[in-house]
C-alpha cells in the first residue's frame, strides 16, 4: 500500500510548461484538493489518473480558471500566474475539452471553432477567412473531409471531438486537457484520436489526458500523475513501463485483481428461458436478429459504436419500435415499441447515458431507487415516505451504495455508485431481465470490480442479463455467452470461454464471420 508521500521519478532538465504546486480547494468545509502537484512539459502526453472523487475534475477546473484555488501556486513557463476565468486560461494557451462537449449543435463547424473569438472587421464576421482558417485547422488534424459549413449537430461523436480540438488550436492552445476523450468512440476512432494526439505533441503541444482505461494510458501516455482522496500519490511515473498493479494500488490504496467473478457451469440448457428475440429488424439499424437469454445467464453484445448493439437493446426494451420480428418474455409476446409493456413483463434498462436518461440528479438516492415502484408507497394520494426510505436503504445495503444515506443527493455520488442506484431501482421493481448498456462507462477501476460482482450476483440469483459494452475484455470476462454484432447483424455466437479478444476484434472490424 502506498504511503501518503507521493511517489516520484527523476525529472529531465527541461523547464516545465505548467507547474501546479500545493493546490488546495475546499467546498463547504470539505477539502476536494489537499495540496495537489502537477507538472506538464511541452510535447508530452501527461496522464492524470484517479478514482471518481479523487479530485481530477476539481484540479482541471482550477487549471482552467473555473475554480479559484484556496492555496497553492500555478506557474506557466516558470512565471507564477493566476486565472480569474476560463477565458483568462485560454488567453495563456490552456484549453479544456470536457467529456460533455460544449459545442452548439445549431451552429456550423466553422462558427463553433471560432465561437467567442470570431474573425471580424468593423463589427462584422468575415465568413470567407473564418471558413478558410477552419479548413486549415481541420486539415492539420487530419480531417479535411469535415465540411466547415455543416451544422455540428449532424456530426458523429468522433467528428464533434475533432471540432473541439480544432477550437482549442484556434486559440493557439499550448496545453489541451482531454477528459475521457475515448469514452464515446469506436475502436478505429480511438486509433485516429491517438494519431491526432501524436501530431499535436510532435508540434510541442502538451496534452493532459484523463481516462479510466489503463490500456490507453500505456499506449498513448508519456508520464502519469495519480490522485487519491484529493492528494497526489504519484508524480511523473513512466506511462509505458510502470506495472499496471502498481498504478491500480496507487489509485485505490489496495491491490485489485483484474479477475472477473467466477462463472457457473457453461450450460444453461436446463434453465427457463426468460427472453426470446425472433428475427428482429429495424430499417438499417439491425436486421434479422435472433437470440435467447435464460435465467441466470449473462449474454453480451460485442460490437463497435454504430454496429446496432445499443439499438437492439433499446428495441427489446420497447424504446425503439422494430419494423419486423418479435420479442417474447417468459413465452409471452411483448407489444412492440412499448416501454410500459416491457417494464410490466419484468425488464429493466440501465442506459449508457445514466445522468441524462436514468437519474433524477436533483433528487435523493431513495427517490431514484423507488421511482420504478411509486404505487407501492402511495395510499389515498399520500406517499409513505418511511416505507420508501426503508426499502431504498435495503437496496443500498444490498448493493453497497456509498454513501449509504438514502437522503443523500444522487448527483453527489461517484459514477460507480450512481450505476448501482440505477440497478437498485430495477431490483426493487422485481426485474427478471436486466439490460445493461455500457455499465462501466466513466467508472473508475476500483468500482468496476464492484459492479462486475453485483452483475454476477444478480445472475446467480436467477436474473437474466443482456450486456452491451465497447470493451471486448469486459464482454468476454463478464458474459457467459457472446453475440458479436457487425453492421446490425449477429456474425458470431459462442460461449465467452471459447472466444479470444483478437478474434472478436477481427470480427467487429470487418473480419470474416466464422
Mean pLDDT in residue range 92-111: 87
- Which is nearest to 227 in space by CA: 436, 62, 396, 410? 62
**Looking at the predicted structure, is the pLDDT value of residue 156 above 90?**
no
pLDDT grade for 507, boundaries at 50, 70 and 90: confident
Specify whether the CB–CB gap between 442 and 183 falls below 8 A: yes
DSSP state of 48: E
* CA atoms lying within 13 Å on the CB side of residue 39: 16
Mean pLDDT in residue range 232-259: 80
Q: What is the pLDDT of residue 14?
A: 57
pLDDT digits (tens, 9 = 90+) for 457-474: 999 999 999 999 878 888
Give the CATH fold of the 259-346+432-514 domain: Rossmann fold (3.40.50)
How many separate helices (H) and strands (E) can be counted in the chain? Answer: 17, 25
Residue 344: CB partners within 8 Å, gap ≥ 6?
none
pLDDT grade for 39, boundaries at 50, 70 and 90: very high
Specify whether the CB–CB gap between 387 and 360 falls below 8 A: no
Tell me the pTM. 0.62
Helix (H, G, I), strand (E, B) or coil at 16: coil
Specify whether the CB–CB gap between 130 and 138 falls below 8 A: no
* Domain boundaries defined on the chain: 1-93+174-256, 102-172, 259-346+432-514, 360-431
Q: Cα–Cα distance between 514 and 503 in angstroms, integer?
A: 9
Return the top range by mean pLDDT from 2-16, 77-91, 241-255, 329-343.
329-343
Shared fold status for 1-93+174-256 and 259-346+432-514? yes
Q: Give me 142's grid cell.
A: 487530419
**Looking at the predicted structure, is the pLDDT value of residue 2 above 50?**
no
Helix (H, G, I), strand (E, B) or coil at 239: coil
Give the C-alpha distances (Å, rounded to integers) separating 455 from 83, 255, 259: 44, 21, 14
Q: Cα–Cα distance between 292 and 297 in angstroms, integer?
A: 10
Q: What is the pLDDT of residue 344?
A: 95
Q: Give me 151's grid cell.
A: 451544422
Q: Cα–Cα distance between 439 and 442 in angstroms, integer?
A: 9
Superfamily of domain 1-93+174-256: P-loop containing nucleotide triphosphate hydrolases (3.40.50.300)
Averaged pLDDT of the chain = 87
pLDDT grade for 46, boundaries at 50, 70 and 90: very high
Report the DSSP pairing between strands 175-179 and 206-210.
parallel
pLDDT digits (tens, 9 = 90+) for 429-440: 889 999 999 888
Amino acid at each position: 500500500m502506498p504511503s501518503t508521500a507521493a511517489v516520484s521519478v527523476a525529472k529531465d532538465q527541461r523547464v516545465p510548461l505548467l507547474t501546479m504546486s500545493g493546490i488546495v480547494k475546499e467546498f463547504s468545509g470539505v477539502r476536494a484538493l489537499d495540496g495537489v502537484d502537477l507538472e506538464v512539459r511541452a510535447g508530452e502526453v501527461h496522464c492524470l489518473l484517479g478514482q471518481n472523487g479523487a479530485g481530477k475534475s476539481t484540479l482541471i477546473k482550477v487549471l482552467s480558471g473555473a475554480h479559484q484555488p484556496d492555496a497553492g501556486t500555478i506557474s506557466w513557463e516558470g512565471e507564477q500566474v493566476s486565472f480569474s476565468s476560463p477565458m483568462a486560461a485560454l488567453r495563456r494557451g490552456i484549453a479544456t475539452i470536457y467529456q460533455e462537449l460544449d459545442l452548439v449543435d445549431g451552429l456550423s463547424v466553422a462558427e463553433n471553432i471560432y465561437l467567442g473569438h470570431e474573425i471580424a472587421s468593423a463589427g462584422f464576421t468575415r465568413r470567407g477567412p473564418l471558413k478558410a482558417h477552419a479548413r486549415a485547422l481541420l486539415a492539420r488534424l487530419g480531417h479535411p473531409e469535415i465540411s466547415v459549413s455543416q451544422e455540428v449537430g449532424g456530426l458523429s461523436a468522433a467528428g464533434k471531438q475533432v471540432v473541439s480540438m480544432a477550437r482549442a488550436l484556434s486559440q493557439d492552445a499550448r496545453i489541451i486537457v482531454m477528459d475521457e476523450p475515448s469514452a464515446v468512440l469506436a475502436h478505429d476512432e480511438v486509433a485516429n484520436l491517438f494519431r491526432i494526439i501524436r501530431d499535436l505533441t510532435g508540434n510541442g503541444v502538451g496534452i493532459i489526458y484523463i481516462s479510466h482505461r489503463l490500456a490507453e494510458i500505456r499506449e498513448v501516455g508519456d508520464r502519469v500523475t495519480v490522485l487519491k482522496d484529493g492528494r497526489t500519490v504519484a508524480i511523473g511515473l513512466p506511462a509505458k513501463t510502470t506495472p499496471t498493479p502498481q498504478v491500480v494500488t496507487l489509485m485505490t490504496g489496495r491491490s485489485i485483481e483484474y479477475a472477473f467473478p467466477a462463472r457457473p457451469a457453461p450450460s444453461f440448457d436446463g434453465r427457463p428461458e426468460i427472453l426470446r428475440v425472433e428475427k428482429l429488424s429495424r430499417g438499417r439499424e439491425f436486421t434479422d436478429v435472433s437470440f435467447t437469454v435464460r435465467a441466470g445467464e449473462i449474454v453480451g453484445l460485442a460490437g463497435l459504436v454504430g454496429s446496432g448493439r445499443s439499438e437492439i437493446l433499446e428495441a427489446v426494451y420497447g424504446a425503439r419500435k422494430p419494423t419486423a420480428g418479435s420479442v417474447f418474455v417468459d413465452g409471452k409476446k411483448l407489444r412492440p415499441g412499448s416501454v410500459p409493456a416491457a417494464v410490466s413483463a419484468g425488464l429493466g434498462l440501465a442506459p449508457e447515458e445514466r445522468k441524462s436518461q436514468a437519474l433524477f440528479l436533483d433528487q435523493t438516492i431513495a427517490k431514484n431507487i423507488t421511482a420504478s415502484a411509486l404505487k407501492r408507497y402511495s395510499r389515498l394520494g399520500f406517499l409513505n415516505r418511511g416505507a420508501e426510505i426503508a426499502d431504498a436503504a435495503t437496496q443500498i445495503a444490498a448493493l453497497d451504495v456509498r454513501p449509504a444515506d438514502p437522503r443523500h443527493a444522487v448527483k453527489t455520488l461517484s459514477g460507480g455508485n450512481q450505476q448501482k442506484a440505477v440497478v437498485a431501482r430495477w431490483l426493487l421493481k422485481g426485474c427478471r431481465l436486466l439490460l445493461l448498456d455500457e455499465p462501466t462507462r466513466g467508472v473508475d477501476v476500483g468500482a468496476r470490480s464492484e459492479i462486475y460482482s453485483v452483475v454476477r450476483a444478480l445472475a446467480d440469483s436467477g436474473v437474466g442479463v443482456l450486456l452491451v459494452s465497447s470493451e471486448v475484455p469486459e464482454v468476454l470476462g463478464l458474459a457467459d455467452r457472446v453475440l458479436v454484432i457487425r453492421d446490425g447483424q449477429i456474425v458470431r455466437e459462442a460461449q465467452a470461454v471459447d472466444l479470444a479478444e483478437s478474434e472478436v476484434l477481427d470480427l467487429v472490424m470487418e473480419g470474416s464471420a466464422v
